[in-house]
Chains A and B, each alone.
Chain A
Amino acid sequence: MQRILLTAVFLVLGYGFWVSPDLKEIAAGVALFLFGMISLETGFKAFTGGALETVLRRSTDRLWKSIGFGIASTTLMQSSTLVSLVTISFVSAEMISLAAGIGIIMGANLGTTTGAWLIAGLGLRVDIAAYAMPMLVFGVILLLNRSRLLKGIGYLLLGIGFLFLGIHYMKEGFDALQDGFDLAAFAVPGLAGLLLFTAIGMAVTVIMQSSHATLLVIITALAAGQVTYDNALALAIGANLGSAFTTALGGLTANVGGKRLAVAHVLFNVMTAAVAIALIDQMAWAVDLISGWIGIAEDDFLLKLALFHTLFNLLGVLLLTPFVRQLERLLIRYVHYVPPPAEQPRFLFPESLNTPATAVTAVRNEVAHLYDNAHALIAHGMSLRRRVIDSDASLSEAVRHTRRIMPLDVDDIYEKKIKSLHSAIVAFIGEVQGREIAEHWTERLYDLQQASRAIVEAVKATKHLHKNLSRYGVSPNPPVREHYDGIRVQIAKLLREIGQLRTEEPGAVTSLSLDSLRVGLEKSSLEHMHSINRMIRDRQIPPHIATSLMNDDAYAYEIGEKLIAASRTLLVSDEPGDRIAEETLALDDRDIERIAHESKPAEQAAAGETSR
């Protein structure tokens, strides 16, 4: 379908260029304008370096703030596409609510109307091509720099330069066209014209993927008299409608949050367009009235068009704002979430790659998903049900009452639920690191990759431990049974405590709690070592079982160590300052060993003394 459309566009344009040299100039203007938009988006992405994300997260707790953010960011960046895409990735990563996302999209729709004012008010009245040239030169010089910031500014300058140049070429093209060809002769009056030109505006926007570019065409064509004012209004409505479909296409590949937001965007724009079409006469009357109040001349159709564009978007925002919560509820109810199987990634979507913050959050969520899979596998590997570990029930009792060790094909589960996810995480991180991102994000991604690896290693250790547990876990020899029971309780406790910590807010204090688990692990390891020594000394176990116990203690220690390491990465917040504080206060290996030795029970201390 896409290939056919592309071929058709090429053929039509090729024929047009052959027939009319003016069309060539107009099309080149549109192409330059679009390239300017792309440069501007690249510039903002490199330039903000996370500032946009930080502001977005902090300014969306109230609906009016979300709408305000949408207006301000789109006005500043002159790209509702960039704002919409970033918003979709934030909603997909569950970093902001759906209602906040709807607010931003509504605001972005209103913010994008400032573009029409700029083009109509400045673009066509001043010789902006003269400003474009130095911008392009300075832009390219800055682009040659290594600094991320300077490169970003370079892209911004290039973007603005190409936008100006695009506007200039379009103006020239339409002016030249005016001499030999009158498109206004194809004007269609009445409702048929309204619907036809709305459809044309929509189609042009879908093809160009930019409502800004469509508006530029409309305004320059209107300025050159190639389109009537009434038809221009309809084209503007169509441009608005078309931009929603561009976002909808982007939202289709996102997860459920992104899909819901894309549906909301389409609903909002369709509703706004329907109201504008239904009330076109009243809107035109209002435009005339307000134009009179603010001093726009009666025959200044360019500014009147910009005013119309603003008015009907404002009307849409006013109509929908009281119902945002209801719309959110409806979308959650009807746009369903079908969780993919446990072995498939749940958060690694291409949309998450839009910003470093969303990419890192997606990886973090996926590592947490991997941890959940490992949690279930390790719990079963210890022959305990997950619900027992996640409850308040006594773990010692549950372990003591075990009559048989659950059979488990650890290799199979490892291949299906662990290795496949780990590979997906590694591949996604590789893709993120291929883009230009700040150093602290690279470090965070490295930590997450290490966490993913630690989880895999914990599962591998479980595989080895499970073999001997199946053989000796319910041994008739009481000291052996007791020893394995101790190992199972130790790991189960660790899983429970980490599970509880994961329900708390990520931050330095939560991740510092893991040091207690490390001390507990060290103490258990010491206790187990003393217990094996005692059993050998008292000839309670044969040497081959003693070596199995020693190996299994080492596996249990490795499981604990790796799970704690992975959890630390998941529990610390993404704030660099928080991480510095956590690193400073966290206990090192020597501290852990010292505390574990100081707090060992008196009987063990005495045994330790006598064994020396």
Chain B
Amino acid sequence: MKTKKLLAKLADFMHKDRVAQREELERIREVLKKLKKKEQQLREKLEADPDEEERRELMGKLDVVHAQRIKGVERVKEIRDSRREPNADKVPEI
């Protein structure tokens, strides 16, 4: 194990909150990945030229997924800043 990783583990051990934050971060990243995939699927359906009613529904769903992803990314940034570990955690792209 690299020294950096070992130090991170030691820091986690010393601060219980950090462990909880790390877990939250991992979970949010996981969900964000799935939401990104869902957004892509919705866009593909939109490109398939649906009727007006379906198009409106798909657009509505896209707005919601996008808003959820923004919230998620903001939380990731927030956790990363509070951990004061620049570059330690990559922020997902929107």
Residues on A lying within 8 angstroms of B by beta carbon are 508-509, 512-513, 515-516, 519-520, 523, 577-578, 580-582, 584-587, 591, 595, 598-599, 601
Query: Contact residue range for chain B?
Result: 20 to 34
Closest to A394 in B: B53
B47 to chain A, nearest CB (A): 19
- Residues 54 to 74 of chain B near chain A (Cβ within 8 Å): 56-57, 59-61, 63-65, 67-69, 71-72
Q: Does B27 lie within 8 Å of A578, measured CB to CB?
A: yes
Q: For A584, give its contact among B24, B57, B61 (CB under 8 Å).
A: B24
Once A509-B35, A512-B35 are accepted as A-B contacts, the answer to whether A584 and B60 lie under 8 Å apart by CB is no
User: B23 contacts the other chain (Cβ, under 8 Å)?
Assistant: yes
Q: Assess whether B64 is in contact with A519, with CB atoms less than 8 Å apart.
A: yes
Compute how far the CA of A577 lies from the CA of B21 in the bound complex, rounded to whole angstroms. Answer: 11
Also in contact, A584 and B63, with CB within 8 A (given A508-B31, A509-B38, A577-B23): no
Q: Verify if B34 is at the interface (C-beta below 8 Å from A).
A: yes
Among A516, A582, A601, point to the contact of B64 (Cβ < 8 A).
Answer: A516
Q: Can you give 28 contacting A-B residue pairs, CB < 8 Å?
A: A508-B27, A508-B31, A512-B31, A516-B60, A516-B61, A519-B60, A519-B64, A577-B23, A577-B24, A580-B23, A580-B24, A581-B24, A581-B72, A584-B28, A584-B71, A584-B75, A585-B31, A585-B35, A585-B69, A585-B71, A586-B68, A587-B67, A587-B71, A595-B64, A595-B67, A599-B59, A599-B60, A601-B56
How many Å lie between the Cα of A519 and that of B92 in the bound state? 26
Residue of A nearest to B24 (CB): A580
Asked if A581 and B28 sit within 8 Å, CB to CB, the answer is: yes
Q: Which residue of A lies closest to B62 (CB)?
A: A516
Q: Bound complex: CA of A582 vs CA of B30, how far in Å?
A: 11
- Bound-state CA distance A508–B69 (Å) is 13
Complex Cα distance, B60 from A342, in Å, reads 36
List of B residues within 8 angstroms of A598 by Cβ? 63
CB-defined contacts of A599 to chain B, threshold 8 Å: 59-60, 63
Q: How far is the CA of A512 from the CA of B68 in the complex (A)?
A: 8
Q: How far is the CB of A521 from chain B (nearest CB, A)?
A: 11
Q: Quick one: given A509-B35, A516-B61, A599-B59, are A585 and B24 in contact (CB under 8 Å)? A: no
Known: A508-B31, A580-B27, A584-B75. A595 touches B63 (CB 8 A): yes
Contact residues of B between 6 and 58, Cβ < 8 Å to A = 23-24, 26-28, 30-32, 34-35, 38, 56-57
